[in-house]
Amino acid sequence: MKAQISALALALVAAGGCMSLPVRDPTTPNMATWSVADDQEGQVVLDWWTGFNDPALDRLVERALSRNADLRAADANLRATQALAGESLAARGPGGQVGAGLTRTRVAGLSQPPVPGTPERLSTQTLANVGVGLSWELDLFGGLAANLDMARAQADEARWMRRQVEAGVAAALVRAWAEYRYASALEERIQRRVDVQQQILDSLETAETLGGVSRYDTEAARAALDQARAELPAVGAAQRNAARRIAVLSGDAPGTTLADGRLPQVPTTLAAGDPAGMLRRRPDVAAAERQFAAAAAQARVAVADLYPRISLAGNVNLTADPDRLGDAGATGFSVGPSLTWGLFDMPRLRQRVVAADARSEAALARWEGTTLAALEEADGALDVWQSRREAARLALSAMDASDSRRDLVVVRESAGQASRLARLQAEADALSVQINALQAQSDELQAWISAQLALGAGWRDVDTVAPTSGSTSYRRRL
């Protein structure tokens, strides 16, 4: 029977003609190493924030990853696509249903042709019906298999999109955490500079009264004091906004307070792996590749629609008065193959194939663009991090020199070789340089976080969390 059906189908296909799809394979761009390859050897750590060795930060990240609204939505989308893939798998096997009913009917006698000897009004009947029906579509032309491939590709895409959300949430929380800690340290140093500038102004006002300095010097000191004070409101707002961001990322209402702690130490090394490993890790690249796979499978589904659909179906039913369902005459059945073919829809179906193939071509182009953009972003992020690291190193060197100068002025004041005003000015200058160094360290840390995200780190599947690397070192913090 199956051989006869296959022969018939092939004959019909030969009569109707067919279409083929061009072969399209994603080709990864060739980039062997990063353009800036200094201090970047080693395996990328997925949960990179654990390298800070800060239990409070680890708890914040875990809370966000378990409560974040965007991540919960991504989880739900993943479950939905996985269920649809399961539905497509089940569609490849036999299907059917069980039915039962009870009807009370009477056919109008006047609607029937007159038959001598029969009553003008037919009797009323009460009939029970119980039946089982089964059907199975034979996937001779791969339409069901292509539909399953499409559903599985969409489920894989949803998984990678979930990973992208997870990595983004983790990076955003660590950013906010670093901003909060640095804003707290920055506020403390600005306040110290305000106090020193106030002392300088008081000394100059006294000296001006005694005729030792001009009003020009006093007004310059007052301007420096006001300028230092003007920086405090923005720093306080930045700290509160960072706390609000952490609360929202954790699924809570915005809050403005957060537990204080030590300043985050700036990592001086970054394990970047190689470009090929980054592309395998990047959620957006993998999701784009899965989008292409789904589009290619959809094109194969469209091609399969050009061919006949062949199904085997059968049903068994019992129909009789409710108390006579067990009688032999109540049994009925049907079994046999069926063939449907949209022969007269061929122009429309062929255009559907062309459209599906064009969408596949577009998906491949998007994947290529996403891949190139990922390489650009990662390479650029590593370059920026190294430049910020060098800037932070120079800023720390400048801070050391400024602190040494301040200490020398303190010694000279003790020896009577320098005035109190000179010592206060040296303290103010040292604090300004410390603030610049603090900002440089903050910029370096933010660049380090951006590089981790660009390298595709930050997502963790259950039972696949990468161990924390022991090779990360840190520069001393302010």
pLDDT in tens, 310-349: 999 999 998 888 888 878 888 888 899 999 898 898 999 9
The span from the CA of 284 to the CA of 376, in Å, is: 14
- Give the pLDDT of residue 9: 53
- Give the pLDDT of residue 41: 65
> Across all residues in the chain, what is the average pLDDT?
87
Torsions phi, psi for 319 (to 5 deg): -135, 120
From 62, 68, 48, select the one nearest 245 (Cα to Cα). Answer: 68
Question: Quick count: other Cβ atoms within 10 Å of Cβ 253?
Answer: 7
Helices (H), 68-142: 69-90
Burial class, 313, CB count within 10 angstroms (exposed 0-12 / middle 13-18 / buried 19+): middle
User: Does 418 have pLDDT greater than 70?
Assistant: yes
CB-based contacts of 346, cutoff 8 Å, min separation 6: 16, 17, 306
- Give the pLDDT of residue 7: 57
Place of tokens 């409560």: 67
- Give the pLDDT of residue 28: 83
User: Does 353 have pLDDT greater than 60?
Assistant: yes
Mean pLDDT within 439-463: 89
Question: Strand order in 331-340's β-sheet?
Answer: 95-105, 125-138, 309-320, 331-340
DSSP 8-state class, residue 38 = S
The span from the CA of 457 to the CA of 171, in Å, is: 9
Torsions phi, psi for 151 (to 5 deg): -65, -40
User: Does 169 have pLDDT greater than 90?
Assistant: yes
From 359, 396, 362, 378, select the one nearest 474 (Cα to Cα). Answer: 396
Report the predicted TM-score, pTM, of the whole model to 2 decimal places: 0.85
pLDDT, tens only, 106-163: 777 666 666 666 666 667 888 889 989 999 989 899 999 999 999 999 999 999 999 9
The span from the CA of 443 to the CA of 387, in Å, is: 10
Confidence of residue 478 (pLDDT cuts 50, 70, 90): very low
